[in-house]
């Protein structure tokens, strides 16, 4: 299991009460929207505009007109998002652009922002009913969409596995981990392997299949590490360790350009020189690597 010291876990701390039962209570919603201590974040399309590097939460009385989304209650106040039309002005950034600030934030507002941006993205891309093709209308404070025939759609979260595959005697100096790089990444950037689950597939089998498809490596034992909400745009990253049964690497040259086995010593040396650039500290990928390595490593994307 993931150590509580990993940065990616801080992004999920201080979860809010999502107040499911209040989403259709118009009288209560109006009262909470008018409350002096209620706050709202403005979402333009699927972007936010940080102020001095931090997410700006406005008193609801100062929020612009737009689609109201109830996020929930935390710290004795009610939190909302307001979804407005995408804006061309400078300063609006996607979630990835504010992840470093969220990871360093000690107020624990990341779960609220993940909720807001995940809903906004789903509402942006889900325009028509997949069953009848009719237009969809929002209800339940943005948490449901319904067509004229009564077909209801709910927000989607897609499970994706992300895994660090190892080989050799556990804990020994010869033990190695497998990292890969995509062709479009800058030179030297490597990460753990990852992929989406397919219909009817267990998480462990998804790990084995993805590693075999991308790197040609056969995996046996798979153990759970932890998970991370990742609304980029709508994923839940499920982290695993896997033990290789065979170590020959044959990359598919579609998903990956290169995959390498590295010992702990090689990982440290190349990270220090900058010839190997690891994922940022806010990601569960970084946590998987540092959990296996046994401590912090230098450098990041």
Task: Note the pLDDT tens digit of each residue in 251-300.
Answer: 988 889 999 999 999 999 999 999 999 998 789 999 999 999 999 999 88
What pLDDT, on the 0 to 100 scale, is given for residue 2?
A: 57
What pLDDT, on the 0 to 100 scale, is given for residue 63?
A: 97
Query: The tokens of 125 are what?
Result: 């891309």
Q: What is the mean pLDDT of the chain?
A: 93
Whether 40 contacts 60, CB under 8 Å: yes
Task: Report the alpha-carbon distance of residue 210 to residue 87 in Å, rounded.
Answer: 38
What pLDDT, on the 0 to 100 scale, is given for residue 255?
A: 85
What pLDDT, on the 0 to 100 scale, is given for residue 3?
A: 58
What ranges do the domains of the chain cover? 7-125, 127-156, 158-293
What pLDDT, on the 0 to 100 scale, is given for residue 299?
A: 86
Phi first, then psi: give them for residue 204, nearest 5 degrees: -65, -40
What pLDDT, on the 0 to 100 scale, is given for residue 254?
A: 85
User: What is the model's pTM?
Assistant: 0.91
Task: Report the alpha-carbon distance of residue 282 to residue 301 in Å, rounded.
Answer: 11
Average pLDDT estimate for 131-145: 97
* Nearest by Cα to 116 from 15, 19, 64, 46: 46
- CATH fold match for the domains 7-125 and 158-293: yes
pLDDT category at 90 given cuts 50, 70, 90 is confident
Tell me the H-state helices in 105-236: 110-125, 203-215
We find that the CATH architecture of domain 7-125 is Alpha-Beta Complex (3.90)
Average pLDDT estimate for 91-114: 84
Pick the CATH number of 158-293 from 3.90.79.10, 2.20.28.120, 1.10.357.140, 3.55.40.10: 3.90.79.10
What Å distances lie between residue 56 and 48, 59, 76, 182, CA to CA? 9, 10, 19, 34
- Entry field: residues in the chain: 301
Q: Give the model confidence (pLDDT) of 189-241 as tens digits.
A: 999 999 999 999 999 999 999 999 999 999 999 999 999 999 988 999 999 99
What Å distances lie between residue 275 and 56, 82, 165, 182, 267, CA to CA? 37, 43, 21, 16, 10
């Amino acid at each position: 299991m993931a150590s509580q010291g990993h940065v990616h876990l801080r992004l999920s701390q201080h979860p809010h009460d999502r107040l499911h039962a209040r989403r259709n209570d118009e009288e209560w919603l109006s009262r909470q929207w008018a409350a002096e201590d209620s706050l709202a974040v403005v979402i333009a399309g699927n972007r936010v505009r940080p102020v001095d590097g931090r997410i700006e939460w406005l008193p609801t009385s100062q929020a612009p007109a737009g689609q109201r989304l109830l996020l929930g209650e935390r710290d004795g106040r009610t939190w909302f998002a307001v979804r407005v039309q995408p804006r061309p002005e400078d300063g609006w950034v996607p979630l990835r652009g504010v992840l470093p600030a969220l990871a360093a934030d000690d107020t624990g507002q990341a779960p609220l922002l993940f909720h807001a941006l995940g809903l906004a993205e789903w509402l942006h891309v889900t325009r028509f009913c997949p069953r009848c093709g009719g237009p969809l209308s929002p209800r339940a404070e943005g948490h449901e969409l319904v067509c004229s025939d009564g077909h209801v759609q709910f927000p989607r979260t897609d499970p994706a596995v992300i895994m660090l595959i190892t080989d050799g005697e556990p804990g020994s100096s010869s033990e190695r981990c497998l990292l890969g790089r995509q062709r479009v990444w800058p030179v030297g950037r490597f990460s753990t392997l990852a992929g989406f689950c397919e219909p009817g597939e267990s998480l462990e089998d998804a790990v084995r299949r993805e590693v075999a498809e991308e790197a040609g490596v056969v995996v046996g034992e798979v153990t759970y590490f932890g998970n991370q909400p990742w609304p980029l745009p709508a994923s839940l990253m499920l982290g695993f360790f896997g033990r290789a049964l065979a170590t020959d690497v044959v990359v598919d040259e579609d998903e990956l350009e290169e995959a390498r086995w590295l010992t702990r010593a090689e990982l440290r040396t190349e990270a220090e020189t900058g010839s190997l650039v690891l994922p940022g500290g806010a990601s569960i990928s970084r946590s998987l690597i540092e959990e296996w390595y046994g401590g912090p490593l230098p450098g990041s994307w």
